[in-house]
Structures are given as C-alpha cells and as structure tokens.
Structure 1
C-alpha cells in the first residue's frame, strides 16, 4: 500500500469542499488522503486510539481529504482504506455489507497490531456507518472500538429520495437479480431482510460512545433521521439545529466545517468546544473569504 506519511509543515491545509476530494482522485487516484496511513505512527497519551476512517459509496481519496489531515495535525494516528470494491472500479462500498465488514475487521486488526493500540475510534460516512455497525455487532468489533462516529449513516435503511423503489424492477431481470444480491447499498433498501439483521441497537455496546451526525438536506440517506439512534450512550447531532445556515448535503458532509468540528468533539469529549456557525453550501462548502 502506498502511504502518505505525516502531514508536511508546509501543507496548505484541507479544503472544506467535496470538490477537493474529486480533484485529488483525478490528479492522484488511489492515494490515501494527507495524514493517513503512516504505519510508523504511535498513538499519544492524549489520543491513545488510532482513528479508522470508513468511506461510503466512494473511496478514501475522495471522502477524507478534509478530515484526515485535520486529525493528523491534531495528533491522531489516522488510517484509511478503500474497501468493498468491484464492478465500479475505484469506487468502494458496493460489496455486500457482510463482506465489507470482514475486510474492515482485518484492516482494524492490522492497525491495532502496527500501533500497539488496544482500541480504535471509527469515523464513517454513509453506508460506511452500516458496515461499521455490522462489524461492531456481528464481527467482534465491540471490544475493539472506543468511539463510534457516523455521518449520514443509513442505519435504518434509505429510500434514496425515492430511487430505492426501483430496486424490485431491477431485481425482476435475471442479471439485475444477481447484481442486487451482491450489492451492499441494495441491502439497505426499506423492507430489506438485512435491516433486521443489522438491527442498530447501541445498547449492545454500552461502553462505546456513539455520535451520529446528520443533515436535513441529505438526498441519499433519506429520511435524514435514518442516521440517528437512541440510547444513553448516544449523542445525535442535526447540523441545522446548531447552524441554520449550513446547507450541506450528503456528499459534502465529511468536508463540512461544523461536522468536522463535531467529529473532533466526539473523539475528545473532555476538550469539546462549541462549533462556530457559518454558511456552508451544498458540494462547494463555505464560500471563499473575500479579501481586499
């Protein structure tokens, strides 16, 4: 695996925009985001758990261009991988959730062995949250996770703004039926038997702190409340309740400055600070600051 090593001192810093991830994929496809996958990194006393970032229907290059370098600068050991690839080439998370979770289990074990850590913190986006929960509940992840942070995770299934209703039509064809059986996102359609298997109950892991971050403008994980959980060990965050001028949608969420701040708070709650509200545009992020 190619690694990026630590963030350079002269690095210009992350861009709070989904477009930065797309540009990185075009210019350096398949490369880990800045700050990730330094296998010589050893966790500090302040941040003893390495952070494992799990993308959604995308890859680690596109999804984590903002959060990865911020975490590295803050002092975390950060690790990413593109999992669950298949027919869509560099795009991951298309494999069955069970297969992706097994892949993540091996990756987490590798991170723990390399760093000497007894637990990892997991930050996920979109279907990555379902993969992370399946790993936690079905593949032995409970004893390996300290903090569980999920951005726009379709934990209770997703209508994908109505597109999921087309799945029975696709499955009615011979080739379509085979594709649906092997499709991770298809497992999260409303009424899918897999949702009963997933059964995202945080009560099964009372010692794990769950933080769920969603946006009301999500067009993929719909309704947006699918990304919320209930329980004494759960902190649900609807971005617009904190910042009404944050119009971020599904893909921009991992690059959203308010969401990123809340991820940092979730990973280090003893030093949490209030988020600063700002204008955030869908896909584009915060408007550029005009200087004169």
Structure 2
C-alpha cells in the first residue's frame, strides 16, 4: 500500500465515518454523560457523527464537563485529567461522551484542541513533535491552575498513542504525568488496512490526501517518529500505562500494534474491549462513545475503586 494511500485513509476515516453515519432526525443525540445500561451496546459511530457535526459550528468548543479552570482537585481524585483527541477530530467530537462522565465522577477535566489553526474543524494534522509542544504547554497550564504536581492523560488514537508518548519521552512529560490511558492508540503505527480502498471507492482519496497532514504520515508503520519513539522501549519510568483496544479497529491495524510492553518502573495494562463485553463492536471512532470504555477508563484512573466492566457497565 502506498504511503499516500495510508495517510489518506488514516486522516479520511473521520470524514468517511461521518458521511456514512450522518445524523438524521432519528439519530441519537450527543450523550449527556449518563452511562445508560444496555443489553447490546451499539457501535458508538452515530454518537461520534452527531458530535462531529455539532463541532463544525464551533470547532474550539470544549465538551461538557471540561475546562472549568476554577476546578479544585479533591482528595479522592487529586490529579486533573487531560483529554487528547485523535487525528482529524477535535475535543468536542472526541470527548462529548467521556468528559461529562469523568466530571460526574468527581474529576477536574480538561480538553485541548491542537494540530491545526483555530477555527479548523479537522485538527491533529500537524507534525507530532510540534503537536507535542502544544500538549506540553496545555498540561503546564492545567497544573498551574489546579496546583497538582502531575496529571493523568487520556487520549484517543494519535492522542492516546504516539503524541503523548512523544511528550513523555522528549518534552519532559514523564515528570508531570502519573498515568497515560490510550484508547485505540496509535502506539506502533498502522497499515490502515482496507481504508485506502474504501476512500478510493468513495471518491474522497484525492481530497483527503491533500488534507491529511504530516500527522498521518507520522503514524504509519516504520515512520521516523515511530522509530525514535520505539528505540529503547515503549515506556518511560515513573509512568503507568493502560491501553483500551478494540478488535474491530479498522484504522490502527493490526489492532495488536496498539499494545505496549512494560518497562522498568512503568507497568502496563493492555485491555481489550471485547474481553469485557464480547458484543461491543465499537470500532476506531465509535469506541470514544462506548460505555464499556468509560468503565475501563474510570477503573484505570482509580484502580482502588474499580468495578467490573461488562456489557452493562
């Protein structure tokens, strides 16, 4: 598969998904943060689509529950949580489900937009080392506002994989981060299996190739960014890692590329969505609205009060 096809597929996945599941009058609304009990979880794609569509009118808007700069961390949850969105998404599209859940659980929650100019709906397109500097500045702002010594990072796709790992390794982030939770993270790059053909069949390949940005190339298997990050191991001492992976991921492929190997003083929990709920078929975008994912993230952030994750999470 040619590199330009891979880059186009990776960046175009959000566009394809929104086009395939554009909200209608009967589409689910953007979640209000309540974790509803359901016997058969849906794939989350309609919720992502609805949130992405809403974000187009105000691309810089924060999801509900995020960016209360007067929030004071509690004794129960002493570290703020920073949410980092994925490629071609934005904070509102990515986190309108999880952000209010975390806020209701008592966390101080923050979400940034990065990797594109203000007003651009399609963010996270920039070179990952440059975007990491934006994450570093935002985390410093959060720590200054809350008085906390460290933050917990929760990210999706690029925002849970290569980007925060670069921040931890090269921008001093390891000293300021307690835990990194990667949801469908692009930890070791992707072949973007099947998406290039899909993009071509939908006649969006040329457009997405032009708009993909350097971030898409950075996330392909064998990129310079991947090589530099993987040299010397996956982790940084002093940071705890969790991955939340779905076997139906069609963007970061093969899905096992998302797992991390533990290093010295850097434990790793590699979790698979279907181990908790075999009928949750959420794929790369939809996992951002999986209630099973919500429970796995809550457990990772507060293992002392973890609850069993299941289809009725």
Q: Which of 18, 30, 39 is matched with 2:69 structurally? A: 39
Deviations 1:173-226 (A, max 9, x none): xxx99988x611211212222211121734432x22100011011111111111
Alignment partner of 1:270 is 2:304: yes
Q: Relative to structure 2, which stretch is displaced further, 149-158 or 184-193?
A: 184-193
Alignment partner of 1:72 is 2:106: no
2:51 maps to 21
Note the C-alpha offset of 1:278: 5.1
User: 1:14, 1:27 → 2: CA distance?
Assistant: 24
In structure 2, do the counterparts of structure 1 residues 67 and 189 end up closer, same or farther at CA, with 3 Å as the change threshold? same
User: 1:112, 1:88 → 2: CA distance?
Assistant: 26
1:213 maps to 244
Provide the alpha-carbon RMSD of the alignment: 2.6
Q: Which of 226, 248, 258 is matched with 1:195 structurally? A: 226
2:19 maps to none
In the alignment, is the contact (CA less than 8 A) between 2:168 and 2:236 conserved in 1?
A: no
User: 1:143, 1:210 → 2: CA distance?
Assistant: 14
Q: Please report the TM-score for the alignment, with normalisation by the length of structure 2.
A: 0.76
Q: Which of 110, 132, 135 is matched with 1:104 structurally? A: 135
User: 1:234, 1:114 → 2: CA distance?
Assistant: 29
User: 1:204, 1:195 → 2: CA distance?
Assistant: 15
Query: Is the partner of 1:161 in helix, strand or coil?
Result: coil
Q: Relative to structure 2, which stretch is displaced further, 196-205 or 146-155?
A: 196-205
2:184 maps to 152
Q: Which runs of 5+ in 1 are unaligned?
A: 1-10, 166-175, 280-292
In structure 2, do the counterparts of structure 1 residues 202 and 187 end up closer, same or farther at CA, with 3 Å as the change threshold? closer
Deviations 1:83-127 (A, max 9, x none): 001599222110000000001100000000011000000000001
Note the C-alpha offset of 1:26: 4.4
Note the C-alpha offset of 1:230: 1.7
In structure 2, do the counterparts of structure 1 residues 87 and 47 end up closer, same or farther at CA, with 3 Å as the change threshold? closer
User: 1:107, 1:24 → 2: CA distance?
Assistant: 24
Q: Which of 163, 173, 198 is matched with 1:131 structurally? A: 163
In the alignment, is the contact (CA less than 8 A) between 2:59 and 2:119 conserved in 1?
A: no
1:63 maps to 94
Note the C-alpha offset of 1:241: 1.9
What are the within-5 Å matches in structure 2 for residues 212-231 of structure 1?
212-231=243-262
Q: Please report the TM-score for the alignment, with normalisation by the length of structure 1.
A: 0.81
In structure 2, do the counterparts of structure 1 residues 14 and 29 end up closer, same or farther at CA, with 3 Å as the change threshold? farther
1:143 maps to 175
Alignment partner of 1:244 is 2:244: no
Answer 1 or 2: higher relative contact order, Cα 8 Å, separation at least 6.
2
Deviations 1:17-74 (A, max 9, x none): 3234224314654310001000000100000000000000100010000100010111
In the alignment, is the contact (CA less than 8 A) between 2:194 and 2:250 conserved in 1?
A: no
Q: Which runs of 5+ in 2 are unaligned?
A: 1-30, 36-43, 198-207
